[in-house]
Amino acid sequence: MSEIPARDPEHERATLARLERFARLTDSRFRVPFTGIRFGIGPLIGLIPGVGDFAGLVLSLYLIQQARQIGAPRSLQLRMLGNGLVDAVGGTLPVAGDVFDVFYRANNRNVTLLREHLESRVMV
């Protein structure tokens, strides 16, 4: 049985801010000029044949591990893992997968889920 970590709101805020920066870098840091299309290093890494989409999943796993450390429930971790897997599997499709990677943004989705969870805990 795992021990539930003691709540430390300051640590949670700092972790969330760091993960938001991480998600932005991986999913939406750069913009295609003259468009509203944003992308991060995740889709760029995904262009590497054979290992790119796996590397993107590893980046998502880091975010999930950090969420676990600040006490995210298992159900939330599983939703986050699902987003990472959808992104990894969708990215394996030739050409369309690269476009999918730009628009799915699993890490941004996961940080949003984590932020909503932490905000709901504050209200309780």
- Cα 45 to Cα 17, 26, 69, 92, 124: the distances in Å are 23, 9, 26, 12, 40
Please report, in tens digits, the pLDDT of each residue of the chain (124 residues total).
555 556 788 999 999 999 999 999 999 999 999 999 999 999 999 888 878 889 999 999 999 999 999 999 999 999 999 999 999 999 888 889 889 999 999 999 999 999 999 999 865 5
Domain total of the chain: 1
71 in Cβ contact with 7 (< 8 Å): yes
The answer as to whether 2 is a domain residue is no
46 in any annotated domain: yes
- The answer to whether position 57 is within a domain reads yes
In a domain, 84, yes or no: yes
Domain containing 87 equals 9-123
The answer to whether residue 3 sits within a structural domain is no
Which residues, including other chains, have CB under 8 Å from residue 116's CB and lie 6 or more apart?
none
Q: Looking at the domain assignment, is residue 4 inside a domain? A: no
In this structure, how many other beta carbons lie within 10 angstroms of the beta carbon of residue 89? 13
